[in-house]
Structure 1
Amino acid sequence: MAGLPRVNCWALAEHAGDASPGGMQHFLAAAVWDDDGLRADLRDYVVEQLGDPDAVLVIDETGDLKKGTMTVGVQRQYTGTAGRIENAQVAVYLTYAAPAGHAFLDNALYLPVSWTSDPQRCAAAGVPDSVTFATKPTLARQMIAKALDVGVPARWVTGDEVYGNDPALRATLARRGLGYVLAVARSHQIDTKAGRRRAIDLAVTLPTHAWTRISAGQGAKGQRLYDWAFIATSDQDLPGSHHLLIRRNIHTGEYAFYRTHSPSPVPLATYVQVAGIRWTVEDDFQNSKELAALDEHQVRRWTSWHRWTLLAMLAYAFLAVTTARAHDTQSADELIPLTVNEVRHLFVCLAFPRPEPAAGFVLAWSWWRRRHQARAQASHYQRQAAALQLN
């Protein structure tokens, strides 16, 4: 959270006053941690500070663009970070969204089949032998189950089409008594009394009186108003109340669709509120990358990636909780409430001001970096020359 231009083991070690990055690199790659225990500490901290029985579990994935083929999980795949297919590493995250605030609870790295079908590649990246291929909805289902099994209070789950289109995830949530509002595609098939129909075909036949204008929450420029409608459905004979929720843009007429479930009937406005909360995970991605270096890891192996992202999630949880506490204790008359960005700025400037380093220390680090880079460059050239000779 130091606000460094780049955040990696080199920059962190120099900022901390270390003579080299060796200690930081060992800390991530080889030091003895109780990784599961620290992950449980993150979950317990977030729930202790923000917990609410009506909280929403938000699932989504994010990608980090990478070069080469050696970084664990990397391949050419679609990532919303770039909005297209790129060489990237993708992970699924679970956000806890409550009235007081929101922060990450857990994450899981997505390993494509190109990795799980190549044991040698996985072994080189330190992937445990027990790890097998799992779809993104499966990873989400595992994280949600783990949270619920230890008593995390929550009433709803929401996510985008990747998760809404998965019937196994919907069935698991319904059987565990959780409500959900999960996006689906316009071509998603819905069972009706007249047979299976596409979601878009149902939407365009609705009469004017079927629509209600409701805000999906407050945005940066005011209320996010849309027209909404819902149609009662069934889903695999699962318990509870099931609907197709339809959102229509009041300016463009564009449609969006959601499969919904509630253990007991709830009004349309409740589903709309949950649908609007899905965007908290986008805020968490943006803020945790900007303020806690979630995406700036320069590591290749399984253990190092999990440790780096866990530390970033802990740092961001601290910012989110501190911001929530400030909202409870500080008057905001004539001021907008404190944001996580402002809290990080105040924390860095006031809590831990850093004296200017001595000239000798700065020069020593410059020498170390350039020596390391020269050795790396020579190694790359030697490997390239050897490959050319073999060919």
Structure 2
Amino acid sequence: MEEDWQRDLEHWLEPYLQKLGNKTRRRMCPAYIAGLIGPGDRKSIQPMAARADALSYDRLHHFIGAGIWDSAPLEATLWRQADELVGGDKAWLIIDDTALPKKGKASVGVAPQYATVLGKNANCQTLVSVTLASGEVPVMLGLRLYLPESWTSDTARMERAGVPEDFRAYRTKPDIAVEEIDRVIAAGVRFGCILADAGYGLSAPFRQALSARGLRWAVGIPRHQKVYPADVQLIFPVAGRGRPRVRHVPDVKSRAAHAMLEEVKWRKVSWRRGTKGRLTARFAAMRVRIADGAPQRIGAAGAQHMPGEEAWLVGEHRSNGERKYYLSNLPADTAIKDVAGAIKARWICEQAHQQLKEELGLDHFEGRSWTGLHRHLLMTMMAYAFLQTRRLAQAGRKKKSLRTSASTEHARHPTSHH
């Protein structure tokens, strides 16, 4: 069975290996990925080399850390395969981040920062992740390191870690996410809607950048995000004294998302079938205008954000008592079940992060350089895509054999009535 998957892997990697040219690199790439997939608790270079007789540590280390080769053609191949596997109008493009806890200060991008996985501040590297998913099948397309300001303000430190010139300016995580989305679109990857949690959804520039590109999105927001009713009107206020007003102002005040939904009816919505039956929660939804337009002084209220684009405001009341809030620019005639389905589809990328860490050593890399880290990340994503391809092929074979046995049964007893 083991030789079976390794033979499959060699065949599956062929389009990647063509892009690597050099014979040694063409040998190291499958060896590295087989090391990530194969047995063993630790998936850093030394133990992987120790487990494979034919591999020298030096060659494997050189391939990932110092070898001169371009990862872009391999990435392009990964994206093409991911699109063939799960791309399409019904696919989701999910933006998230994941933390790799680290000791010391020398590894590129490592700093005390909030780690979502741990739910607290920790010394770690943070990766912005891009996942293409259809139904319950995710394929990871991108993992890009976020550099905190403690790094981008220290040129010598970035030089030591080999951070390329193009990546040395400080970028927020939403900035990185938009750059990655642009690259995915330019590569022709197909998806219907972008999903992100409140870490990205709270950023007005992020939401506006997606809308400006004509993209559909559904994102988490903090409960205090301000919104206006959808029918808000812009009026010229009458000045009691002094010069007449020259700018429009809204005829009502903006309100926090949670307060706005208090008056709306909450109802039970089921969005899909899970392993233990239908998945349901209580939802409330209404059309609003987001308070993320230009700031303007409005009477005694001081500077307020003007009404921006119209969107769905959604509240979710979970069975554990937790309430979550979301915004989405899905069309006004979208059924609430479908809006809820989009919001809830995001969890699949967390499962992908977990599998990449637990099964494929995503967080085991011990090198310190930008190039080494990103090549390791690419290899783990390729390993994951290979496993997803195999899982789908096996599921397809199972379905086919079930259909075949059913039709055989029917051929045997064509007149039986059920």
Paired residue type of 2:281: Y
Task: Work out whether 1:57 is the aligned partner of 2:93.
Answer: yes
Paired residue type of 1:171: Q
What RMSD over aligned residues (CA atoms) do the two structures have, in Å?
Answer: 2.0
1:81-96 residue pairs with structure 2 within 5 A?
81-96=117-132
1:18-33 residue pairs with structure 2 within 5 A?
18=54, 20-33=56-69
8 Å Cα contact 2:258/2:315 also seen in 1:
no
State the 1:218 CA deviation.
Answer: 4.3
Partner residue of 1:230? 285
Partner residue of 2:70? 34
Paired residue type of 2:177: A
SS at match of 1:141: helix
Partner residue of 1:248? 317
Partner residue of 1:162? 199
- The CA distance in 2 between the partners of 1:68 and 1:297, in whole Å, is 14
Match of 2:182 among 145, 162, 175: 145
Paired residue type of 1:281: C
1:1-391 residue pairs with structure 2 within 5 A?
1-18=37-54, 20-99=56-135, 101-131=137-167, 132-192=169-229, 193=232, 194-206=252-264, 210-219=265-274, 221-235=276-290, 236=293, 242-249=311-318, 251-262=319-330, 265-331=333-399
- The CA distance in 1 between the partners of 2:42 and 2:50, in whole Å, is 12
- The CA distance in 2 between the partners of 1:27 and 1:238, in whole Å, is 50
Count of residues paired in the alignment: 329
State the 1:268 CA deviation.
Answer: 1.0
90-99 or 302-311, which deviates more: 90-99
- The CA distance in 2 between the partners of 1:16 and 1:28, in whole Å, is 17
Superposed CA deviations along residues 241-288 of structure 1, whole A, max 9, x for unmatched, are 511111112x44431100110256311111111111100101100111
- The CA distance in 1 between the partners of 2:89 and 2:263, in whole Å, is 37
8 Å Cα contact 2:128/2:144 also seen in 1:
yes
Gaps of 5+ in 2: 1-36, 233-251, 294-306, 403-418
Q: Which has the larger radius of gyration?
A: 2
8 Å Cα contact 2:151/2:157 also seen in 1:
yes
State the 1:325 CA deviation.
Answer: 2.1
Superposed CA deviations along residues 313-354 of structure 1, whole A, max 9, x for unmatched, are 1000111122122222214999xxxxxxxxxxxxxxxxxxxx
- The CA distance in 2 between the partners of 1:4 and 1:116, in whole Å, is 36
- The CA distance in 2 between the partners of 1:10 and 1:129, in whole Å, is 30
- The CA distance in 2 between the partners of 1:28 and 1:104, in whole Å, is 20
SS at match of 1:293: coil
31-40 or 218-227, which deviates more: 218-227
Q: Residues 46 and 238 from structure 1, CA distance in 2 versus in 1: closer, same or farther, beyond 3 angstroms?
A: farther
8 Å Cα contact 1:161/1:185 also seen in 2:
yes
SS at match of 1:262: coil
8 Å Cα contact 1:189/1:198 also seen in 2:
yes
8 Å Cα contact 1:62/1:285 also seen in 2:
yes
State the 1:213 CA deviation.
Answer: 1.2
- The CA distance in 1 between the partners of 2:136 and 2:397, in whole Å, is 12
Identity of matched residues, %: 29
- The CA distance in 1 between the partners of 2:144 and 2:401, in whole Å, is 41
- The CA distance in 2 between the partners of 1:161 and 1:106, in whole Å, is 20
State the 1:221 CA deviation.
Answer: 4.1
- The CA distance in 1 between the partners of 2:261 and 2:369, in whole Å, is 47
SS at match of 2:223: coil
Paired residue type of 1:120: A
State the 1:16 CA deviation.
Answer: 2.1
Q: Residues 133 and 216 from structure 1, CA distance in 2 versus in 1: closer, same or farther, beyond 3 angstroms?
A: farther
- The CA distance in 1 between the partners of 2:308 and 2:86, in whole Å, is 31
- The CA distance in 1 between the partners of 2:311 and 2:333, in whole Å, is 9
8 Å Cα contact 1:100/1:324 also seen in 2:
no
- The CA distance in 2 between the partners of 1:19 and 1:44, in whole Å, is 30
Gaps of 5+ in 1: 335-391
8 Å Cα contact 2:65/2:371 also seen in 1:
yes
8 Å Cα contact 1:43/1:106 also seen in 2:
no
State the 1:81 CA deviation.
Answer: 2.0
Give the TM-score normalised by the residue count of structure 2.
0.75
8 Å Cα contact 2:109/2:125 also seen in 1:
yes
Q: Residues 219 and 67 from structure 1, CA distance in 2 versus in 1: closer, same or farther, beyond 3 angstroms?
A: farther
State the 1:135 CA deviation.
Answer: 0.6
Paired residue type of 1:327: A
Superposed CA deviations along residues 75-105 of structure 1, whole A, max 9, x for unmatched, are 0001022211010110010000113721101
Paired residue type of 1:41: T
